Amino acid sequence: MKPKLDGKDVQILSLLQKNCKLTVKEIARKVGSPITTVFAKIKRMEQLGIIKEYRAVLDHKKLRRGATAFILASFSYETQNQSSLSQREIAKQITRFPEVQEVHIIAGDWDILVKVKEKDIAAIGKFVIDKLRTIKGIEKTLTCMVFETQKETTEIPVQNLFLNKE
């Protein structure tokens, strides 16, 4: 069952995605609703799991993590001793590395897509060789270095979104 959202819910989600430090009072003023209503709506969306968490977005370049790479990985579904490997388990192992920002199980010629931020190309190379390729079952990788980022966001467009339509 889909959670039902109204126009005020969508406005609140849009504001929180842009700045989660807004107070309930500021949000209430911007959406034209009482503070208690906005507070209740936010709590409801948290309980429904629509709002998963609140975070600060850091500038990776200022924190000496200026190099970004997307790494495609494929793996063997069976080991040499014929025991089968799980794509989900391998993906879960990759998530444990601190330099990894995203891990996606994908379709096509590759099995997993990994997003990594590190200080430079050499550090990304070290990650691929010394960490990623040591995971049991990883057969091959393809590293795509990012030269420039035009857009990077965690925002989901919610304007004009009403989930109460079937």
CATH of the domain at 104: 3.30.70.920
Work out the average pLDDT over 21-31: 97
| Domain range enclosing 36 | 7-47
Indicate the residue type of 72: L
Q: What is the pLDDT of residue 158?
A: 87
Q: Read off the tokens for 151.
A: 């857009």
Q: What is the pTM assigned to this prediction?
A: 0.83
- Widest distance between CA atoms in the chain: 65
> In the predicted model, is pLDDT for residue 4 greater than 50?
yes
53 domain-assigned: no
159 domain-assigned: no
The angle formed by the CA atoms of residues 36, 41 and 46, to the nearest 5 degrees, is 125
Q: What is the pLDDT of residue 159?
A: 75
157 domain-assigned: no
Q: Read off the tokens for 52.
A: 């998963």
> In the predicted model, is pLDDT for residue 39 greater than 90?
yes
How is the beta sheet containing 67-75 ordered, strand by strand?
A: 100-105, 112-118, 67-75, 138-145
For residues 128 and 72, state if they share a domain: yes
Work out the average pLDDT over 81-105: 91
Q: What is the pLDDT of residue 162?
A: 58
More confident residue, 5 or 73: 73
Helical pair 35-47 and 24-31, crossing angle rounded to 10 deg: 110
For residues 97 and 139, state if they share a domain: yes
